[in-house]
Chains A and B, each alone.
Chain A
Amino acid sequence: MEFENEEKYMARLIVLGGGVSGHTAATFAAKWLGSSHEVVVVTPNSKWNWIPSNIWVGVGQMTKEEVTFDLAPVYKKAGITYKQAKALGIHPEGNESSDKPYVVIESTEAGSAGKVENIEYDYLINATGPKLNFGATPGLGEGSNLGEYTVSVCTADHADHAAHELQKCIEKMKKGERQKFLIGTGHGMCTCQGAAFEYIFNIEHELNKAGVRDMADIKWISNESFLGDFGVGGLHMKTMGYAVSSKIFAESLFTERGVEWIIGAHVNKVEKGKAHYELLDGTMGVEEFDFSMLIPPFAGVGLKAINKAGEDITATVFAPNGFMKVDANYAAGAYENWKASDWPSTYQNPTYGNMFACGIAFAPPHPISKPMSSPNGTPINPTPPRTGMPSGIMGKTVAHSVCDRILKGENAPLHEASMANMGAACVASAGKGLFNGTAAAMTIYPVVPDFEKYPGTGRDTDYTFGEIGLAGHWIKHILHHLFIWKAKLKAGWTLIPE
């Protein structure tokens, strides 16, 4: 009888995705819920990856092993049920035989790969992250697979491959062969300019170290309408009472390091050694390269939603780009009407109250940067970034809400964490080295500009500052160890902030 009772009161939370947001949500939920409720993590990867450090893997300064670790032992320790599988679809209303909502998953574990299973849930947190949509640009790749002409630093494996390709180029340059590097975004609707920014300067730094900098032409290509937009419409940094915009800061850094740039560009086709692009003014161009890292655009992972009757309700639950709809204002309209309050704060799905989406998996109401398009109608503007810090905060907040609902009752108030009330700290590496490393440390508050609260730039400039130097590099390196420590749930992990 006792067993039955336990079965009756036990709630199950499924977290889809084990990235920064999902991992944070799952580990905190497991801690708060204790052993009387179950937390299940469904992620197709067997390893956790500290993505920001992939940049260093991509230049051969760190190994793949240093930025990843096996998830299974960590989840075992935390009492989390771990399913190495890919989520295929959500049935939020259950099916004909049961009202209980469930998720369909397909195992990716060696031995049982391809096995399909239904797991029921009481609460669902969708933190799948993005699908790396290489297929959006012909030649950049097929679907979510990287093509053969360019490299990527989006995953640890990609970064490892990139490091080998970079090494080949360095060898060629040592033999006296000039090499062209093209780094940036591979589509007009990309985010993550920051990663490409870090990568280009880390490459520049490594080439200097290898003594072949003079043999390399390094060029930046991105969908930003000005250098230093970073997908957040740029930021103003106040240092020593003196204001510098990220545009000026980025332009000086590019000039100082001898890196040329093409901006306002939508890469529309990649061939062997060539990238074709369209600019905001409608002109078309081609850029040749020997080595190229182009960030792909992001899309939702392609989850389906099916109702009780078996009908496809994907369009109700997800936005057209495949990200899950949450409590955001998706009808904000044109740029001039955008408000900070359009941005979600609870990340609850409007149709199904027991579903949440956080990290990159939720559908943002609109970009943060100014929307722009070429005369041909091609949209070319950065899409909103959701970096580690906001993703972690969102994951923890959503976990808090779910735990409250499980422990205190269905009507427990939800916790809030809007990106319009959230600051973000970003440390962008511009070269790794204990004594000659550099990094640009920037903070912005809030991530989403609030034009009503802060007329003008929409940001509180007292909390927005930046600095470039060796200290920044050290911070970045310390963060690397700190966050891997936290993710491994080692002693004191709850004390380390998101």
Chain B
Amino acid sequence: MVQEITRYPSPPSVQYGTDVRVFDENLFSLIEDLKDTLKQNKLDGLAAFQIGSYFNVVVVKKEDGSFLELINPRMISPKGKITTVEKTAYFPGLSAEISRYQDISVIYQDRDAKQCSIKASGDFAVLIQRKLDYTFGANFLSKLSKEERKKFEKKLEFGTDIAISESCPTRFKRDYFSKASNIFTIAMLVLLLSSLFVSDTQILSGMWKYQIYLFLSVLVLNIGYFFYGLYEGKKYSSCTSCQVGNIIGTIVIAMIKLIVVMLVSYFVIHPR
């Protein structure tokens, strides 16, 4: 019977991936289901997990088109590393670079529980390796290198309930700009308040000069914040939904603060 293929984000449950102990009708019908599903979806191989069973069973299509049934398969003596670009039905439409072995030897049992072995190389070996990944409750995500995994996770739809979210920085570097801008604005405020206790025009005019410098600095910082923010936003595209909005919002707030302080300063400090 054709079964529905488990797809991401259905998690590879811990219950999946246990050896078959009893070779009975249930097992045989599971194998038939795997074959039917394979044919229907024109796939090269399926692990039982992919149709929701927790047994270590894999069916792969051999080069001559016939099916190879692998019960409790194990890969031993892996040789020769190769890098392949692979797709799997679990992540439809997505591909990733994975390091695999060129030649493998697989130990498995047939329907009569007899222990057999098969040597495989090239594409066939890669296919078996990909299917074997599922038999112990993993998908090929766990096979990716750290960098490749990051890349792949970006490809995945954002916001699923499975705990594989990309590592977003908790602090963006652009925040240093807005922090500096805030400190400068506070300095302007301090200058403004202290000017209330000064009556000497000469000192006041000096203070006004500094206030202008600070004003210009805050302007420059905010311009820097805007452009760096845009650049950083592109780097972590998947991290927040609307980064440009955030950046502009932050700048508007900073500008309002700046203008208020500057306007008051103009009337208080600016010597007439």
Contact = CB atoms under 8 A, between A and B. Distances in A.
B18 interface: yes
Contact of B15 (A252, A335, A461): A461
Contacts of A32: none
B41 interface: no
Contacts of A352: none
Interface in B128-143: 133, 136-138, 142-143
A279 B105 contact: yes
A336 B21 contact: yes
Contacts of A240: 163
Contacts, number: 97
A282 B117 contact: yes
Contacts of A389: none
Interface residues of A, number: 42
A245 B21 contact: no
Interface stretch (A37-45, A230-238, A294-302): A230-238
A461 B14 contact: yes
A236 B72 contact: no
A451 B21 contact: yes
A170 to B, nearest CB: 27
A373 interface: yes
A210 interface: no
Contacts of B164: 242
A238 B16 CA distance: 13
B166 to A, nearest CB: 15
A458 interface: yes
Interface residues of B, number: 34
B242 interface: no
Interface in B1-33: 11-19, 21-23
Contact of B74 (A262, A264, A285, A458): A264
Interface string B57-80: 000000000000000101111100
B162 to A, nearest CB: 7
Contact of A244 (B72, B105, B142): B142
A283 B77 contact: yes
Interface of A: 225-226, 233-234, 236, 238, 240-245, 247-248, 251-252, 255, 261-265, 279-283, 285, 335-336, 338, 370, 372-373, 375, 451, 455-458, 461, 464
19 contacts: A226-B136, A238-B14, A241-B163, A243-B11, A243-B13, A243-B137, A244-B137, A248-B138, A251-B143, A264-B77, A281-B119, A282-B117, A283-B105, A285-B77, A370-B72, A372-B115, A456-B54, A457-B17, A461-B14
